[in-house]
């Protein structure tokens, strides 16, 4: 029997430093997130970051936490429940980090008799720290514990026409009641080094971004190319002009150079250049989470207004909207009946 495994990032059990510590430990010790050798990762993560970050992160999570739990988890569960109503196949939800493990969710599918699984990383774009780590972990778990299960992976859907349509519609809906003069596409950042590491040709990707509009096999795994593409397609769908739109990267950790321009600097630049009414969208995430609800909707608003802006809105992610569930339902049903994957 066929079944579907949805996987997102995960969240701590509660917004407390006590629960943040093991969660961040698992997350940041992932060699695809902090890609240093183990001995150095130990020093960076356990010796430095985990000394202060759990408390700081817990305070941020506390600001966005819902009565039912973490927004990312609750939204992902609502999405999963709605998807279940659209298909006869068993659908499980797992998280890359934290207690809702990929192993548990594969077991859930196995207990229902599933031996053919469509793995759906809930990320529109390929990055080694998001999409790739989910696929690698699922394959490791499958090999060790579920050798009789077959895994097929849904490709990153950053340029898929149905995804672009539903994303554009959600942005258009979000803009209906907001008189904007600029739109910022803010994507989760990654260290520049990750762009080079993910380049299978090892010569195509250039740190200045000049490579990302030239056709190349490297774009199959180039996060920056993929976010440029999503932006270009949404712009075309909504008929936005170049001067109405900017693109930036958020959520960097101190230390390495990350993809630029940085979102917090863009808030300041745009306000200084006279933008008064700014709408921000966050298409690297399909579900609202700490990075959108706190960093963008709260902190970002303060930064923009402080720099001279007047009105600011964050347009929600696709979350569990019926239209987005329908797109996913079409993809999984197509795979079930024909074996085809969306492109
Ligand atoms: C080296 C550090 C990090 C990389 C690289 C990174 C890439 C990356 N992350 C997401 C999606 C999410 N990240 C979230 C939280 C988060 N991310 C990092 C660090 C890196 N992410 C940290 C330390 C945290 C935890 C919170 C904090 O302390 O700031 C989340 C939110 C989870 C939630 O519970 O709400 C998401 C989602 C992507 C897509 C990505 C690469 C493209
Ligand atoms: Fe992250
Ligand atoms: Fe590129």
Asked whether 53 lines ligand 1 (CB < 6 A), one says: yes
Question: How far lies 60's CA from each of 10, 20, 33, 82, 252, in Å?
Answer: 16, 11, 21, 29, 15
> For the CA atoms of the chain, what is the radius of gyration?
20
Q: What is the mean pLDDT of each run of 10 residues along the chain (343 residues)?
A: 98 98 98 97 97 98 98 98 98 98 98 98 98 98 98 98 98 96 98 90 78 81 94 98 98 91 98 98 98 98 98 98 98 98 95
Residue of 6, 8, 9 to test ligand 1 pocket, by largest number of atoms within 8 Å of CB: 9
Q: Which residues contact 35 (CB under 8 A, 6 or more apart)?
A: 128, 191, 193, 194, 197
Instruction: Output the pLDDT for position 255.
Output: 83
From residue 335, alpha-carbon distances to 60, 163, 216, 260, 332 in Å are 39, 16, 27, 37, 5
* pLDDT reported for residue 319: 98
Task: For residue 286, report the distance from its CA to the centre of ligand 1, in Å.
Answer: 13
| 315 CA to centre of own chain | 15
Q: Does the beta carbon of 278 sit less than 6 angstroms from any atom of ligand 1?
A: no
pTM of the model: 0.96
Q: Is the CB of 190 under 6 A from ligand 1?
A: yes
* Cβ 57 under 6 angstroms from ligand 1: yes
Domain with CATH 3.40.50.1400 in the chain: 2-157+322-338, 161-314
What's residue 202's pLDDT?
A: 80
Would you put residue 239 in left (φ > 0), alpha (ψ -120 to 50) or beta?
left
- Determine the pLDDT at residue 207: 74
Cα–Cα dist 289/333, whole Å:
28
| Residues in the annotated binding site for Fe(2+) | 188, 291
Length of the chain: 343
* 150-153 and 182-188 beta bridge pairing: unpaired
Q: Among 175, 196, 303, 284, which residue's Cα sits nearest to residue 240?
A: 175
* pLDDT tens-place string over residues 98-121: 999 999 999 999 999 999 999 999
CA of 201 to the centre of ligand 2 (A): 26
Q: State if residue 285 touches ligand 1 by the CB under 6 angstroms criterion.
A: yes
What distance in Å separates the CA atoms of residue 255 and residue 85, rounded to the nearest whole number? 45
59 CA to middle of ligand 1, Å?
16
Q: Which residue from 70, 95, 290 has its CB within 8 A of the most atoms of ligand 1, so it is best to mutate? A: 290
For residue 208, what pLDDT is reported?
Answer: 76
How far apart are the CA of 222 and the centre of ligand 3, in A? Answer: 6
Q: Ligand 3 centre from 218 Cα, in Å?
A: 7
Q: What is the pLDDT of residue 327?
A: 98
CATH fold for the domain made of 2-157+322-338: Rossmann fold (3.40.50)
Q: d(Cα 295, Cα 15) in Å, to the nearest integer?
A: 15
Q: Which residues are annotated as a binding site?
A: 188, 291
* 3.40.50.1400, 3.10.129.10, 3.40.50.10860, 3.40.50.2020: CATH of 161-314: 3.40.50.1400
Atom index in ligand 1 nearest the CA of residue 289 equals 35
Assess contact for 181 and 277: CB atoms under 8 A. yes
């Amino acid at each position: 029997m066929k079944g579907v495994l949805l996987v997102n990032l995960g969240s701590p059990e509660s917004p407390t430093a006590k629960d943040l510590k093991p969660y961040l430990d698992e997350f940041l010790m992932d060699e695809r997130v902090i890609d240093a050798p183990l001995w150095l990762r130990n020093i960076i993560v356990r010796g430095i970051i985990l000394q202060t970050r759990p408390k700081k992160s817990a305070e941020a999570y506390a600001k966005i936490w819902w009565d039912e739990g973490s927004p990312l988890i609750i939204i992902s569960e609502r999405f999963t429940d709605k998807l279940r109503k659209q298909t006869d196949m068993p659908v499980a939800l797992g998280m890359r980090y934290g207690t809702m493990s990929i192993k548990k969710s594969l077991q859930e599918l196995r207990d229902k008799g599933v031996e053919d699984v469509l793995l759906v990383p809930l990320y529109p774009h390929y990055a080694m720290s998001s999409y790739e780590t989910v696929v690698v972990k699922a394959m490791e778990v499958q090999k060790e514990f579920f050798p009789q299960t077959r895994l097929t992976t849904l490709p990153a859907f950053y340029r898929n026409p149905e995804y672009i349509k539903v994303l554009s519609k959600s942005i258009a809906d979000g803009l209906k009641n907001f008189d904007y003069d600029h739109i910022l596409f803010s994507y989760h950042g990654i260290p520049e080094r990750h762009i080079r590491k993910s380049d299978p040709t090892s010569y195509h990707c250039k740190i200045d971004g000049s490579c990302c509009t030239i056709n190349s096999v490297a774009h199959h795994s180039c996060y920056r190319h993929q976010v440029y593409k999503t932006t270009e397609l949404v712009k075309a769908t909504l008929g936005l002009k170049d001067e109405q739109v900017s693109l930036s990267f958020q959520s960097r950790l101190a230390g390495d150079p990350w993809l630029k321009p940085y979102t917090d600097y863009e808030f300041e630049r745009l306000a200084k250049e006279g933008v008064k009414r700014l709408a921000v969208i966050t298409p690297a995430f399909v579900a609202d989470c700490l990075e959108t609800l706190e960093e963008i909707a709260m902190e970002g608003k303060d930064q923009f207004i402080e720099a001279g802006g007047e009105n600011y809105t964050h347009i929600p992610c696709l979350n569990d909207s019926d239209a987005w569930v329908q797109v996913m339902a079409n993809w999984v049903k197509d795979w079930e009946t024909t074996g085809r994957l969306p492109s």
